[in-house]
Amino acid sequence: MPKYVYTYFDARGRAEPARMLFAVAGVPFEDRRIKQEDWPAFKPKTPLGSMPVLEVDGECIAQSLVIFRHLARCFGLDGKTLLDKARIEEIVESLTEVKEAGFKIAFCQDEEEKKKLQESYMKTFETVCSRIESIISSNKSKDGWAVGDKMSFADIMLFEVFEGTLKQDPSALDKFPKIKACRQKMEANKNLKDYLSKRKETPF
């Protein structure tokens, strides 16, 4: 098995979906967390001047979505057929829009601007959730997963991306029963439950 070292800040942020991929797959990895004050010195050592960074037997891979897709392929969580793979990508790319809108709020210091960003976030949230609900509804399998008849990276992302929103408003996904059903299946996953029970609490 390859030796995996995954480097990011001491936060969920852009790194958490990959940590969940490792957890669900039951694959060990070194979870290296860089302090904010150490980032300027560490930055030149990264391939693209950004994090997260995944090392696989010493070879570095940068860009969060690239890392997520790579791990999903390695762990057999990227879909069975070419069409399934495309549907998973549709969901993941759409969820990234929600994640990016959330980051803008998290890092905004101006209260007036933050209100505008929150309004924008809710519009993005509604649009993306409606889009994903439609994709899941087109799944011919009755197993309850987002795409096909087995868990995929799309289900992991559906669980992770909405964690913060649901913490603030538990009813946020009530209009989207297909998404809720996928998240409930993920909640029942033993490996994920074990990971979440031990996960360090961070602001975001």
Domains along the chain with CATH numbers:
4-76+192-198 (3.40.30.10), 82-189 (1.20.1050.10)
Strands 53-56 and 59-62, by their bridges, are antiparallel
Taking 90 as the threshold, does the pLDDT of residue 108 lie above it?
A: no
> Which residue pairs from 185-189 have beta carbons closer than 8 angstroms and sit at least 24 positions apart in sequence?
185/144, 185/145, 185/151, 185/155, 186/151, 186/155, 186/156, 186/158, 186/159, 187/159, 189/24, 189/151
CA gap 11, 38 in Å, rounded: 14
Q: Is the pLDDT of residue 93 over 90?
A: yes
The pLDDT assigned to 177 comes to: 96
Q: Give tens-digit pLDDT for 18-52.
A: 999 999 999 999 999 999 999 999 999 999 999 99
> pLDDT value at position 43?
95
φ, ψ of residue 162 in degrees (nearest 5):
-95, 5
Model pTM score: 0.93
**Span 62-85, pLDDT tens digits:** 999 999 999 999 999 999 999 999
What pLDDT, on the 0 to 100 scale, is given for residue 124? 96
What pLDDT shows up at residue 141?
A: 83
pLDDT tens for each residue of 138-196: 998 878 899 999 999 999 999 999 998 999 999 999 999 999 999 999 999 999 999 99
The half-sphere exposure of 198 on its side-chain side, counting CA atoms within 13 A, is: 8
pLDDT at position 111: 87
